[in-house]
Amino acid sequence: MGMTMAEKILAHGAGLKEVSPGQLVKVKTDVVLGNDVTAPVAIREFEKLGVKDVFDKERIMLVPDHFVPAKDIKSATLSKVMRDFAHEKGIKHYFEIGEMGIEHVILPEKGLVLPGDIVIGADSHTCTYGALGAFATGVGSTDMAAAMATGETWFKVPESIKFHYHGKLNPYVGGKDLILHTIGKIGVAGARYQAMEFMGETISQLSMDHRFTISNMAIDAGAKVGLIEPDETTLRYVRERAKRPYQIFRSDKDVRYIAEYDFDVSKIEPTVAFPHLPENTHPISEVGEIAIDQVVIGSCTNGRIEDLRAAAAVFKGNKVNSNVRVVLFPGSQDVYLQAVREGLVEIFIKSGVAVSTPTCGSCLGGHMGVLAKGEKAVSTTNRNFVGRMGHPESEVYLANPYVAAASAIKGRIASPEEVVKPEEVA
């Protein structure tokens, strides 16, 4: 019996010929990541270890992105703890405001995460890098601290589930809709501590931006990792960015999955996740009349350039509804600059959209877009738990950038077809 991608990567990291589900393995880490919420805790625990230095100054990534620009003294202190630690230990990859971005956007963008890597990040959406064929997953701050000291961590080898997608995508449908539809079918615990493998002709035709979106939300199905086998699209993305060698791993043909799902994407509409779970999904045609107060576009899920292009295609020539406020967060400085070059930022501003520097603030209800009691928001982010973006009695509806922009214009959750023709966004 062959091995899955997840098993092969972990076997390689552990220096073993083979591993099997349920086995405990100690592996070498290629990347250790932390942000301004989680890294300060890890730094405190690291200092308790009495270790003089980190295992590798180029394999640790520190990215303040959750409460930046600093919203108060406490958040400024969190970033300062990271900054001081990075300078003291000579950590090369510390990304300060002005050159920073949302961690899960900038690391692939800068070629710091590569196929075959084992990546642990003290942030649950570290699974984003599975789109590159990396075993990437979130861990706690104490695990991050230990890995900063030793360059190692441990895993229980996960079982794997196969998700096959075929058919032609409908207009306004992309990676966000595929993963929301999938989570709607299996539930937020449907892949608990398992490896999700996304494959099929539809996946092979998706750009990297859409693939990152899919892998990003694997954790929101309970998965340990969300993997996409590297292909020529992956390699084109990686070749121009990689600064070190990497290795491609693919599942064997005779591998046995614990479950298999098949989706005909021609039957998938733009999909909206209602409060208060990502699994509470509805096709746009069945949403009904839901007035909204705010729209958020961006995040580690949908803050890349193709997401901004999608939103701009809907906003162009239209105005934000007077009852709605819209905040937009490019995923990185490079994405922001590209949006400026393409004239997207001008479209947004003329439409009445507030364009921000990259930050996670609104996504977690930290700052720059917090909801009041009773308010409803459409967001391109990844979670809509109770109180996720503000008051416990607010509501968040998850959607793709097309739907988010159309909803901003209409003042209610709306299909992009109500605003723009498919050929105008092709």
User: Which of 243, 263, 283 corresponds to the end of one domain?
Assistant: 263
Tokens for 321, please give them: 């509804």
pLDDT higher than 70, residue 295: yes
| C-alpha closest to that of 155 among 193, 190, 129 | 193
Q: How far is CA 223 from CA 124, 194, 217, in A?
A: 10, 5, 9
Closest C-alpha to 250, from 231, 271, 269, 266: 231
What's the CA gap between 144 and 217, in Å, rounded? 21
- Is residue 421 in some structural domain? no
pLDDT in tens, 380-414: 999 999 999 999 999 999 999 999 999 999 999 99
Residue 8 has a pLDDT of: 97
Find the distance separating the first CA and the last CA of the chain, reported in whole Å. Answer: 44
Task: Give per-residue pLDDT as tens, 228-264.
Answer: 999 999 999 999 999 899 999 999 999 999 999 999 9
Question: Residue 367: what pLDDT?
Answer: 87
Residues 80 and 147 placed together within one structural domain of the fold? yes
Clarify whether residues 250 and 293 are in a common domain. Answer: no
DSSP 392-405: TT-EEEE--HHHHH
What's the whole-model pTM score? 0.94
Q: What is the pLDDT of residues 2-36, one digit of tens each?
A: 999 999 999 999 999 999 999 999 999 999 999 99
Total of domains in the chain = 2
Does 289 lie in the same domain as 339?
yes
Q: In CATH, what number is assigned to the domain containing residue 336?
A: 3.30.499.10
Same-domain pairing of 203 and 287? no
Residue 54: which of 16, 24, 93 has the closest Cα?
93
Vertex 82 angle, CA 77 and 87, to 5°:
120
Same domain, 138 and 162: yes
Identify whether residues 256 and 394 lie together within a single domain. no
Q: Report whether pLDDT(426) > 70.
A: no
Arithmetic mean of pLDDT, 411-426:
86
Per-residue model confidence as pLDDT tens digits over 48-96: 999 999 999 999 999 999 998 999 999 999 999 999 999 999 999 999 8
Nearest to 303 by CA among 224, 395, 226, 382: 382
Q: Is residue 147 within 8 Å of 28, Cβ to Cβ? A: no
On whether residue 129 sits in a domain, the answer given is: yes
Considering the domain architecture, whether residues 323 and 256 belong to the same structural domain is answered as no
**Domain limits for position 120:** 5-263
Residue 423 forms part of a structural domain: no
Kindly state whether residues 198 and 240 are assigned to the same domain.
Answer: yes
The mean pLDDT value for 130-141 works out to 97
- Displacement of CA 27 from its chain's centroid (Å): 24
